Structure 1
Amino acid sequence: MNAAVEDPVAALPSVERTEILVIGAGPAGSVAAAMLCKRGRQVLMIERQQFPRFSIGESLLPQSMEYIEAAGLLQDVVEAGFQHKNGAAFVHGTATTAFDFRDKFSPGWGTTYQVQRADFDNVLARGAERMGTTLRFGDEVLAVRPGEQPSVDVRRPDGSEYRIEADFILDASGFARLLPRLLELESPSNFPVRGAIFCHVRDHIPMGAGFDRNKILITTHPEHIDVWYWTIPFSNGCCSLGVVAEPAFFERYEGDNLQKLQAIVAEDPNLSRLMANAEWAVLPVRTITGYSANVRSLWGPGYALLGNAGEFLDPVFSSGVTIAFKSAQLASDCLARRYAGEQVDWEAEFSVPLRAGVKTFRRFVEAWYQGGFQKIIYHPHQQPEVRRMISSILAGYAWDTDNPYVDDPSGRRMRVLEELCSA
């Protein structure tokens, strides 16, 4: 009796076809999907995890609101009840300053929100679905084949597998960095390795304590200029509280991560005062190390990298979500021109403009850790117009080349300002 011969066609996974495949339903993926649906494109968005799920990056910048509005998701976000945000406050010992993002050089939004990302990301993903995106949770990409007709192999939650063929793939997988890993695109970041310990606390900060819940609070460690804390208030009476430092700094402290975080917070008098009545670890303490990332290229044959899948700098100025949204807007514009029959130069029309804003944020991040930017913001005699220019960049307007501190590719203007404030 002859053995049964397996039909090679029947052995192939089922194949599905879409115009645009978006991998990852975080902010970059959802905004890109919604923008493309508004333009009449067929979009399938798959997400490995189930929503809602925790993510870091909870303080938005006003520039983000422009992209949320353009994607048709503004009402979804406004009605979600997130904490209003109008600026950023800074403290280093007895030195304090605050920026109101409504008082800025660049035109555009001056307010935004501070969000629990589990809820925020779910709001955006469901909004993209409302706009026409086909949304699937629990689907994991196993392999990717770039090219003129790219495709991916996917595993469903039940373990079965299928293939998706697309005209184009947008990788919005965030810190999972799916395509950079699978296609060996990763490139070392030139930032020092840093880490963060963080959690949510029910803060019980009383009214009149000198804490503005409409602003993120960024505190420099009393003794270490390159160690800083974030305090991000939410609308439910909780705060996200974290500390960022190089790994060797955390090794000085004994105990588990909660004990380390509490000990480091106790070293700052103002934070100790604010957190005197706090209920700690409303959400579990988490850590992240070596988060800065880069890639050799932000695009390739049949794909582009969005947000953290391409590059992540540092959390100090909350630029991550804004960069993610900007990448979504640029990619959706490029794809709209492609479907209109135009030739698209992804390097010139996607990568170069995206990296220009990232470079602006990078100059500010580097100056922060070196201490020069801190001298600028705490200087007692600030010129109002220069302050508004800085406020614009802190508000996310890192692509406004009318701002002299954006249109400063060499960083000379920033260095001169640092020198003046150091004199």
Structure 2
Amino acid sequence: MRVFALAVAFVAAVDAFKPDSNSCVTEEAGLGLGGEYMHHKQAKYVIGEPYAAGSYYRYCFKGKLTCHRDAGIADLPMPKAENCSEVLKKRKLGYFVDPQHTALWPHQTLCYGIKRDDFSDSENKIIDDGLTYLRTTGLTFLTLDECKAAPNADKLCGGCVDYVHVNKKDPNRCSARVGWAKIGPQPLNLGTPCFVVGKGTVVHEFLHSLGVFHEHTNPSANLIVHDMQRGAQNYLPKAQALYTDYDSHSIMHYPQVRGVCIPLARNDGKRWCGPHESKSLGCVEPRAKDCDVEASKPFGQRKKMSQGDFATIANMYGCAKTGKNATIDFLRNKLAKKGAIHNAALETGAAKRFDKSLAKVNKARADAKAAKKAAKRAAKRAARKKRGKKGGKKKAK
């Protein structure tokens, strides 16, 4: 009876729906996609899925329905509108192949190249600081030259051909291609505004390049989207490549000013519409006034990666969560300042290859410390013994 009552209530809610002047009605085009109501600022994919290059979505704005191509790049503004009839004709003719899941970089290694002349000295330093910080995730980041010099170069970055091309082609935009695109140089644009908060935005965009989606698209997030200020792929719920709990403090979360927030509680039993849903389903179209401003304040921080962000990388790439000791190359550089003995121990340990648990690296480091302490103790014992012998000779006289 309870199920029946809920079903009746749902049908009643749908029947009660009355489209307003800002609503859109989708065309059929022989694909079973027609006759659907879409409310103002609603988006829905008709080909592919978010962040899959070549996918298309419909977008309703003030009663006008347009189609937009997803370039597979995060943080881009709404793409240029295309004729929906032409897009659907191409789909009907089978011009599109269902996109695969976002590819991850092989062997936990991302290759990059920086167009240094695009950036000022201070901006170049911020990029380098961001890469240094990213190495604490447990991944390896190599320039193309470093990749080609690696003993397993043929297995890295598509044979050292694919890399993240860091540039400032658009001086006002921060954006990146999501995941390993396998296209040679793949764009990561860092405009001037990307450096205002230090390395945080650099880290955010590189995480996109690693295949990490925006946190507010986590299907388990209880959020509303009232204004799509970027392309729809940046807002629609996305089934993650891994399953992690929603994290409001993630460095991958949009701030409130980007049209995302925690909603105020409802007392009428209705739910808020998702950015891909229509009011015809019986949900309520969210607006800015429906936001709980105080509860949404943590959104959009760019100071550091949250523990959830580190866990996401660990789950995606199988890296141990060991903080700043998580990468061999980072560890080697850090310990180089403390004496060659540490580097020597690493060279004979697991430093020549990436080890997911890093147990061998940690053991090598522990052995090096123990050997150093043992050498100091031996030196002290030898010094005491030498002093004792000298004292004994004096007494004999």
Query: Do Structure 1 and Structure 2 share a fold, with TM-score over 0.5?
Result: no
Structure with a larger share of its residues in strand: 1
Superposition TM-score, scaled by structure 2 size: 0.30
Superposition TM-score, scaled by structure 1 size: 0.29
Structure showing greater radius of gyration is: 2
Structure with a larger share of its residues in helix: 2
Higher relative contact order (CA 8 A, sep 6+): 1
